Amino acid sequence: MSQRSLVLLKPDAVRRGLIGEVIGRIERKAGWTITALELRTLDQDTLEQHYGEHKGKPFYEPLMGFMQSGPVVALVVEGERVIEGLRTLAGPTDPIAAAPGSIRGDFGTIVRENLIHASDSEESAARELKIFFPGLV
């Protein structure tokens, strides 16, 4: 079954020049297609919509600051089992726990600045895509 997922290349990935590397890994996955891509600086409202479920948690404010520290690349990826596949490609949030070959395993340095976001379910993907690409939904 074909799915859609939101992917965000976070400010640390952009700053470190990893856009091409990460997008290349996505493009090389057979059956996946990037159907939208945009470089943008996220505003407070967009971030609050996206991360609202975490409001009040200790990491919320640092996360909001980090995500506003520079531009991100937002993209829509479509394909068979793309949600599960992108989560595997990204690897666990902790780069020490992430396997070599995953994005975080190969390039991650600290938990808070973890290079990439990928939707974790079809429901999350639908919600997130409405926030970042309302014209595609």
Structure token digits, residue 121: 């379910």
Residue that the structure tokens 């997008």 belong to: 23
90 in a domain, yes or no? yes
Read off the pLDDT of residues 17-73 as tens digits, 9 standing for 90 and up: 999 999 999 999 989 999 999 999 999 999 999 999 999 999 999 999 999 999 999
Judged by DSSP in three states, 40 sits in: strand
What single-letter DSSP state applies at residue 113? S
CA gap 16, 45 in Å, rounded: 26
Query: 46 is in which domain, residue-wise?
Result: 2-132
pTM of the model: 0.95
107 in a domain, yes or no? yes
Provide the number of structural domains found in the chain.
Answer: 1
Active site positions, annotated: 117
Beta partners for residue 38, in sequence order: 74
137 in a domain, yes or no? no
16 in a domain, yes or no? yes
* CATH number reported for the structural domain that contains residue 67 in this entry: 3.30.70.141
Q: Which contiguous run of DSSP H or E holds residue 83? A: helix 82-90
